[in-house]
Amino acid sequence: MTKNNNHIIPHQHLISKKERQGNNRHKSMVVWFTGLSGSGKSTLAGKTEQVLHALGYHTYILDGDNVRTGLNAGLGFTETDRQENIRRIGEVAKLFVDAGIIVLTAFISPNASDRMMVRKMVGTDEFTEVFVNCPLEICEQRDVKGLYQKARKGEILNFTGIDAPFEVPLHPELEVLTHMDSLETCVDKVVQYLIPKLAVPEI
Ligand code: ADX
């Protein structure tokens, strides 16, 4: 990892994060949705983004299945690969924050230590963890992609919730219950939490 990095000296660019945020008239942040496959992370991230976008916020989404076809193509679902998946997403998310953007991420991110790694990388003030809480039974009933059925049959290994663990977030900034509350209610909870956090002081 550190090899060849001995003579790298990062350049200090002329426009700061604060200046970018000032132009955008809002702060930037990582909104990290974590939860089981089928819990509703992507749907929630998508709708939350739509609401923020309509209000004039600059947003972007990084989503598990999409990122795994590009930047993280080639990574699988072993502990090591999942950690590398989340590490890279964390670095990319941090760049988005630096660019003044609100980046919403939808990754299972089952390991508490990986989520903590990103929180530390980004800085806790600019990191909002949203636990998309939905019981395994319901995710499995929904089985939107048919993957739980395959995992039960042993056709997919290391499937989160079946033969790989999901470590429940103990102190997320937000928790939404997608099996109890409507999508609108969940989105509203996230948006209402974010808006005051995104405000920049008037000059
Ligand atoms: S993570 O665990 O590394 O955070 P990530 O969010 O990127 O996972 O990708 C999860 C998506 O990959 C799932 O929504 C599902 O469509 C697909 N997938 C394929 N194999 C697995 C597996 N073994 N466990 C979980 N999801 C899988």
Annotate 74-124 with DSSP letters as a single string: T--SSHHHHHHHHHHHHHHHHHHHHTT-EEEEE-----HHHHHHHHHHH-G
- The protein residue whose alpha carbon is closest to atom 3 in ligand 1 is 82
- Which positions ≥6 away from 65 have C-beta within 8 Å? 42
Closest ligand 1 atom, CA of 151? Answer: 23
- pLDDT value, residue 145: 95
Print pLDDT tens along the chain (203 aa).
Answer: 556 778 999 998 999 999 999 999 999 999 999 999 999 999 999 999 999 999 999 999 999 889 999 999 999 999 999 999 999 999 999 999 999 999 999 999 999 999 999 999 999 999 999 999 999 999 999 999 999 999 999 999 999 999 999 999 999 999 999 999 999 999 999 999 999 999 998 75
Q: Please report the pLDDT score of residue 3 as a whole number.
A: 65
Nearest-atom number in ligand 1 for the CA of 106 is 6
193 CA distance to ligand 1 centroid (A)? 27
Cβ within 8 Å of residue 34, ≥6 positions away: 41, 107, 108, 109, 110, 115, 129, 130, 131, 132, 169, 172
Nearest-CA neighbor of 99 among 74, 122, 119, 117? 122
SS3 state at 62: strand
* Structure tokens belonging to residue 74: 């080639």
pLDDT score, position 1? 52
Ligand 1 midpoint to CA 82 (Å): 9
Pocket-forming residues, ligand 1, beta carbon under 6 Å: 37, 64-65, 68, 77, 82, 85, 107-110, 145, 147, 156, 158-160
pLDDT for residue 6:
82
Task: Name the nearest CA neighbour of 20 among 127, 90, 96, 89.
Answer: 96
> What pLDDT score was predicted for residue 201?
80
What amino acid positions are annotated as catalytic residues?
109
